[in-house]
Amino acid sequence: MRTSADVRTSEISLGAMGNDAPGDSRKSGSQSNRGSLAPPFQEQVDDPNPGVIRGSVAPKKASVQVGEDSLAHFAMAAQAQAGGGGDVVARPQGLTFNEAVMTMIVNCVGAGVVLFPKIMTDVGMLIAPLLCTICAFTCLECGVMLTSAAEMAEKYLGTPIKTYEELAEFSAPKGRIGLLITKNAAFLGFVIAYMQLVIDSVATFFAKPEDVKFILRFAVVMPLFCVLAMIRDLKQLAKFGTLGICMVIVECGCIMGGGVTLMFTEDDIKYNPLPAVDGSELPGACGKYIAIFLFSFAILGTVPTVRAQLENPSEMHGVLSRSFIMLIFINCAVMTCGYLGYGSKAGDNVIVDMAGKGGWYTYAGYAGSISVVVNVLLSTPLYLFCVMSVIEASGTGAIFTQLSPANMGLRVTLVVTLGSIGYMLPYVGEVIGLVSSVFACCNNILFPAMFHYFARKKVDTVAKHATLRQVKYIGSLLVGLCVLIFGFQGSLETLLSKLAAGAAQAKCEEDKAATWDIDAAACKTANTTVAAATDAAVDVVMATVAAIVG
């Protein structure tokens, strides 16, 4: 039971500022009462939850029971299941305010935090937190727009909005196809990045990590992901929710604890308050790193689903505000502490850096690597399940039948294809930057603004503060376009640069090997010549000695 103080806190939270629905004024005309009247073919029934207008068909009972131990992955699971055509309900009584906040936080703080210290290394101690804050508040406002659009749709239709796709169908039907494409493309891109994170993390346990990555990818990680792709029921993951929460805590604790300890024990750490990259590269770097922060807020696409599971759906604004403000502090704390331990020497993956540091830092790195692996292995099936649900819902043949031989072959083919792409593009930060700058940018920023705008037009609603609403639309679109343009440009340029550097290094190693072969042959010839000359000299000496003696 929430206290009145909790209710007041949620009502005055930042998210409430973006809610047009409660304060919107209706235009006069024949359509002015659409939101309060159910369509004529629907039967009015008593509803235990007066906060949601329902039609004649009662909602299904919970097909997946999710308790306290499954909060770590509830929201993603709900979105994936709903995308497959089923209904997922947390519990018959719904999520409480605090449970929903925990759901949002734990799903946002994932494996991507290992990339954050590198961001501060490149753009400096001042700009990096600013980028994180801009991304968080933009996503917060877009989440509020999704919530408001869902409220307007429910009042207009008289039925609950449970998924992002349902909201798209109401607001902009033609945009639903685009949403399906961008959402699932983002999920596939994230699987590629996750596979590389697992490979990098496992490789830290070997003396020469680079020498074992090929074997790890094709002999260990790819078969493991093929097994994960066979998941048929999200209930199989629910019991691992507590483990996921623990791994997130371990991962962040290792980064923060190791970084702070290194700050006090190392003498040659250099810090840069200003960007370390060239001025011409700064726009691309900022766009790329906002895209990486955007990756950590991929949960935003589940906002309509999480809202549908709340005991009181009107609290979703407060849930978003509290969770996103807490995420700003968590992300900035992890990023700053990791950076303090390495400064300008921070690498792309701070856990890998820590594992190679030596001493007890190695064990901290190992613990962080294990937590990353477990976190990824718990998250990946949800992405793959969501993608396969869309594919299976698009046809009726054997290949579209869950876990038929043809369907299993399709799943394996999908994972092998993603793993092969990852082999050619083995750079996690750049892959995430490319995927997020295009697909996650659409899912998290552009589509929410578009759906909210068209929802208001459809229900004939005027914002209470029209000028402020226009400012929010324009601000969100500007951030989205900057990420789309500069994030893609910066990620692509960095990726091409690393690919060129990798190719040059491989050629250099080949040249060294060839030179070594030449040198070895020359040495062998020289040794043979020396040995022959030595034998001849010995023969001459022995002959001379024999002549003298004789």
pLDDT of residue 133: 95
- Residue 265 pLDDT exceeds 80: yes
Give the model's pLDDT for residue 528. 61
Secondary structure (H, E, C), 177-233: HHHHHHHHHHHHHHHHHHHHHHHHHHHCCCCCHHHHHHHHHHHHHHHHHHHHCCCCC
Domain layout of the chain by residue ranges = 60-513
**Model pLDDT for residues 186-209, shown as the tens digit of each residue:** 999 999 999 999 999 999 999 888
Residue 111 has pLDDT above 50, yes or no: yes
Give pLDDT tens digits for 370-427.
999 998 898 888 888 888 888 888 888 899 998 899 999 999 999 999 999 999 988 9
Note the pLDDT of residue 529.
Answer: 55
pLDDT of residue 47: 39
Whether the Cβ atoms of residue 380 and residue 194 lie closer than 8 Å to each other: yes
- Express each pLDDT in 146-180 by its tens digit: 999 999 999 999 999 988 999 999 999 988 999 99
Q: What fold is seen in the domain 60-513?
A: Amino acid/polyamine transporter I (1.20.1740)
Q: How many Cβ atoms sit within 10 Å of the Cβ of residue 508?
A: 10
Q: Is the pLDDT higher at 527 or at 436?
A: 436
Choice between 175 and 544, residue whose per-residue pLDDT is larger: 175
218 pLDDT higher than 90: yes
pLDDT at 73 (0 to 100): 44
- Cα 305 from Cα 290, distance rounded (Å): 25
Burial code of 171-194, b = ≥16 C-beta within 10 A, e = fewer? Answer: bbeebbebbbebbbbbbbbbbbbb
pLDDT at 535: 58
C-beta separation of 348 from 491 below 8 A: no
Q: For 293-331, what is the HEC assignment?
A: HHHCCHHHHHHHHHHHHECCHHHHHHHHHHHHHHHHHHH
Residues facing residue 461 across a β-bridge: 26
Q: Is this structure's pTM higher than 0.85?
A: no
Residue 297's pLDDT is 86
Using the predicted structure, report yes or no on whether residue 266 has a pLDDT greater than 80: yes
pLDDT at 518: 54
Cα separation values, 416 from 163, 382, 385, 423, Å: 30, 17, 16, 10
pLDDT on residue 460:
87
Q: What angle do CA 453, 308, 323 make, to 5 degrees?
A: 80
337-363 per-position pLDDT tens digit: 999 999 988 888 999 999 888 888 899
Mean pLDDT (the chain, rounded): 78
